[in-house]
């Protein structure tokens, strides 16, 4: 049975941790879904998979293309798609159009957007009223990289208060869940206890209602590993060794094998 946004909120109440990962194509989505991941995010971290330096250049069309492929691999998990930079910040009409396209064209159940300041909370409220489930994202927001960098957020009392207020505003606007990225664990605990909707942490300590990682980081495929990520495999090394072995066998005429027919 497919997981719903309501089920995530029930799991928070039950104290059942939520498992989330990112996917970028049919194969990755199918593997994650069959492995029992609860929430699959087509994150704008896809930009790195496509060779961009930051998440800023990726377009809505690129996100839609990959999200369609991910959808074909997902049967059980809740699927959420990031709205890329400048596809929802300009106006409510732009946000509605972008989010509507995601749901209509990909079959995803929800969208995610960054920021919780008053204007963004108002946008979330309007999207939710239109029937579009929204996941929020506060703390380190990578689309603001040129403004805040990639360093941990919420380290001063003023920053703590602002992030907490943003999270509360997003819940009041109707967000069904919020990603807390790269903030102190104590602040994440405070937010998690304050909200009735689930928090999904990434570099935010152990007290969130769930955890998300970029799958390329988990698998050891990323060139640069975030300080808060854990690699459960080293596929860069495994793949490199496999390709080198193949190349050696081809050059030494050992592959393909000479099998009599």
State the catalytic residues. 181
Contact 167, 139 (CB under 8 A): no
> Rounded to 5 degrees, what are φ and ψ at 84?
-70, 165
d(CA 222, CA 197) in angstroms, rounded, equals: 31
Token digits for 86? 């400048």
State the alpha helices, DSSP H only, in the chain. 5-14, 26-34, 46-49, 60-73, 92-106, 118-129, 145-148, 157-173, 185-194, 215-218, 235-251
Q: What are phi and psi of 129, to 5 degrees?
A: -65, -25
Q: Are 18 and 59 in contact (CB under 8 A)?
A: no
For helices 157-173 and 118-129, what crossing angle results, to 10°?
Answer: 20
Structure tokens of 78? 């809740």
Count the residues in the chain. 261
Sign, CA dihedral 149-180-84-224, equals: positive
């Amino acid at each position: 049975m497919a997981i719903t946004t309501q089920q995530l909120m029930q799991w928070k109440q039950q104290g059942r941790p939520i498992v989330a990962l990112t996917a970028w194509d049919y194969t990755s989505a199918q593997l994650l879904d069959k492995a029992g991941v609860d929430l699959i995010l087509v994150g704008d971290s896809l930009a790195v998979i496509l060779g961009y330096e930051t998440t800023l250049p990726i377009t809505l069309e690129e996100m839609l293309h990959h999200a369609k492929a991910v959808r074909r691999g997902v049967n059980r998990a809740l699927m959420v798609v990031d709205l890329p930079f400048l596809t929802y910040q300009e106006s409510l009409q732009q946000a509605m159009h972008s989010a509507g396209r995601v749901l209509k064209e990909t079959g995803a159940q929800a969208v995610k957007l960054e920021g919780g300041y008053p204007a963004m909370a108002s946008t979330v409220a309007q999207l939710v009223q239109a029937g579009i489930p929204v996941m929020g994202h506060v703390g380190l927001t990578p689309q603001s990289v040129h403004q805040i960098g990639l360093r941990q957020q919420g380290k001063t009392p003023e920053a703590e208060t602002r992030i907490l207020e943003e999270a509360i505003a997003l819940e009041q606007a109707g967000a069904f869940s919020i990603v807390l990225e790269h903030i102190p664990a104590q602040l994440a605990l405070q937010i998690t206890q304050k909200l009735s909707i689930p928090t999904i942490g990434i570099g935010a300590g152990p007290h969130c209602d769930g955890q998300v990682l970029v799958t390329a980081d988990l698998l050891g495929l990323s060139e640069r590993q975030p300080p808060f990520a854990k690699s459960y495999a080293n596929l860069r090394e495994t793949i490199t060794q496999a390709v080198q072995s193949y190349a050696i066998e081809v050059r030494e005429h050992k592959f393909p094998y000479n099998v009599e027919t």
